[in-house]
Amino acid sequence: MELYELPLLEVAAKIQAKEVSPVEVVKSSLARLEETEPTLTAFVTTTPEIALEQASIAEKVIGEGNYRGPLHGIPLGVKDLYDTAGVKTTSSSAQRAEHVPDVDSVSVAKLYDAGMILIGKTHTHEFAYGATTPTTGNPWAPDRTPGGSSGGSGAAVGAGVVPVALGSDTGGSIRIPAALCGTVGLKPTYGRASRVGVASLSWSLDHVGPLSRNVVDAALVMAAMSGYDRRDPATVDVPVPDMVSQIGAGVAGKKIGIPVNFYTEQLDPEAAAAATTAATLLESLGAELVEVTIPMADLILATEWAIMMPEAAAYHQDYLRTSPEKFTDEVRTLLETGAAQLATDYVNALRLRTSMQAAWKQMFSAIDVVLAPTVVGPATLRADPFITWPDGTVEGATGAYVRYSAPANITGLPALSVPAGFTSEGLPLGVQILGKPFAEPEILQVGYALEQYSDNVGKIAPVLAGAA
């Protein structure tokens, strides 16, 4: 078995015991990248020279007895929204085609401090404004979308190039590609981790977090990324919990909220069955299933878009004025629409969000977590990113995929997507666990219980060159 195929903690144990060196681990990752990249195009920029230099330094430091922990010497993919000093950060847009930051984003700097090694920058839907990442193929079926906007990260992890990659989540952009690529994706509580040095889509909805092969890996990386940062006024000065030690404690006695509305509408039957199977499994492990009604459900998507669109237009207003032609038609249209939105509509959406947050808090007073499908169905074709429902309704992939993930962005609640099997066509499905504010350890605990019985956790897609 190749090193890139092994779970992160198994590789970490070998590095700590000096059975393998970080250089060997990185070379294995780079070899897998070379094998899969012509098919997937998961990366905007690859950094083999930097990776081998960082690996050599890690090998020397570990050899001197200064092992930093399980992330030391482990390869990392970084979504191309995150600044990386001396390495292009393009946001997959012509607007920033030559942008080379001088300073690392806070998250990247923290993971470097933990000893992680940069393999490359992964593609995003342009400026994270979409949920399909058109540049990139799905590792399980390259003619299908990997989801977005962190599609490159989902594809890179799903294909085995890296065990962990960073994503961002404004309307589901970590969880959507995680579900469609068969990986784990963790969106933390709003304010848990700093977004300094990460290009914004919507200031009050943006979250940063990891995609990984399993729940423990996500916990390790999220803990390393977390913490208060006075430069990001959204971060909250609360202690960073131990996200790993209780992860295997089980779910006995947990009250699992099972939605009877919203997450049941316009839903692929196989995705619905996957969520039902997950709920039944949790119940068999001692959890109690509690039916819940998602509050203000008919206003969720309208509120999400009414906040996101003007905030995105405000962030990009200089580009809109000086070089609008450098945006793709899709993103420019969205930005121009946001710029035309009335201020009163934006303010009313903010007020609605406050009401939704209060209503969800009330719902959570009777449960510990909510369990729901991550997305409405499996990956659509890249050439035809639409879903046709049995009633004849045609829905664009971005709107369809964001539908089930938006509540966690509006409320700011932590949400974890874990693999939940495959469709009859061999495409991955996912379920998500939503928790109370700053309850990442609890949703990780539930997700870990589920993944012990999943048939696609940690599996690497058999990507073949030229398979697109």
Reduced to 3 states (helix: H, G, I; strand: E, B; else coil), residue 270 is helix
Quickly list H helices, 210-367. 215-225, 269-284, 300-315, 317-322, 329-339, 343-364
How far is CA 404 from its chain centroid? 14
Dihedral sign, Cα of residue 145, residue 147, residue 149, residue 150 = negative
Question: Distance from first CA to last CA of the chain, Å, rounded?
Answer: 25
Rg (CA), the chain: 20
Of 29, 79, 91, 110, which is the active-site residue?
Answer: 79
The rounded distance, in Å, linking the Cα atoms of 328 and 340 is 18
Dihedral sign, Cα of residue 134, residue 136, residue 140, residue 142 = positive
149 catalytically annotated: yes
CB 433 within 8 A of CB 415: yes
**Cβ-count burial of 81 within 10 angstroms (0-12 exposed, 13-18 middle, 19+ buried)?**
buried
173 catalytically annotated: yes
Token readout for 210 is: 């990891």
What are the C-alpha distances in Å from 443 to residues 7, 219, 290, 416? 21, 10, 16, 7
Q: What are the φ and ψ backbone dihedral angles of 394, each rounded to 5 degrees?
A: -110, 130
The rounded distance, in Å, linking the Cα atoms of 150 and 108 is 16
CB 139 within 8 A of CB 461: yes
Dihedral sign, Cα of residue 144, residue 184, residue 193, residue 408 = positive
Of 21, 93, 149, 454, which is the active-site residue?
Answer: 149
Q: What are the φ and ψ backbone dihedral angles of 118, each rounded to 5 degrees?
A: -75, 120
What are the C-alpha distances in Å from 289 to residues 25, 249, 255, 273, 455? 43, 18, 6, 16, 23
- Whether omega for the bond prior to residue 168 falls within 30 degrees of 0, making it cis, is no
436 catalytically annotated: no
The rounded distance, in Å, linking the Cα atoms of 222 and 439 is 13
CA neighbor of 431 nearest in space, from 314, 208, 273: 273
Q: What are the φ and ψ backbone dihedral angles of 212, each rounded to 5 degrees?
A: -150, 175
Name every residue whose Cβ is closer than 8 Å to that of residue 43 and which is 6 or more positions away in sequence.
33, 37, 77, 120, 121, 122, 123, 152, 156
Active site residues: 79, 149, 173
